[in-house]
Amino acid sequence: MIIAILVGYPFSRLRTIYFFMINLLFGIGMLSVNSIFEKYTGGHSGLKGIPPYLPARRHNAAISSQVWR
């Protein structure tokens, strides 16, 4: 949290095109970090082992709760 505040505050002071440039840089940087630490992050496939989100509906709430046990 402290790192987020230290990094986020100076970036929040930027205006218009510079703010967009920093956002683009941050996005590209996160993709690079994701690729470098593929063993831990799953690379471009994303994190593994997380079940998909299934919204609970009244008629299948019992089924969806039994699927992920």
Distance CA 67, CA 53 (A): 12
Q: How many Cα atoms are found within 13 Å in the side-chain-facing hemisphere of 7? A: 7
DSSP H stretches of helix in the chain: 2-12, 16-36, 38-41, 61-67
Q: What angle do CA 36, 34, 68 make, to 5 degrees?
A: 125
The CA-atom distances, in angstroms, between 53 and each of 3, 36, 56 are 30, 27, 9
Reported pTM: 0.48
**pLDDT category, 60, cuts 50, 70, 90?**
low
pLDDT score of 59 more than 60: no
Residue 20 pLDDT > 70: yes
Domain ranges of the chain: 1-44
Average pLDDT over residues 58-64: 54
pLDDT at 25 over 80: yes
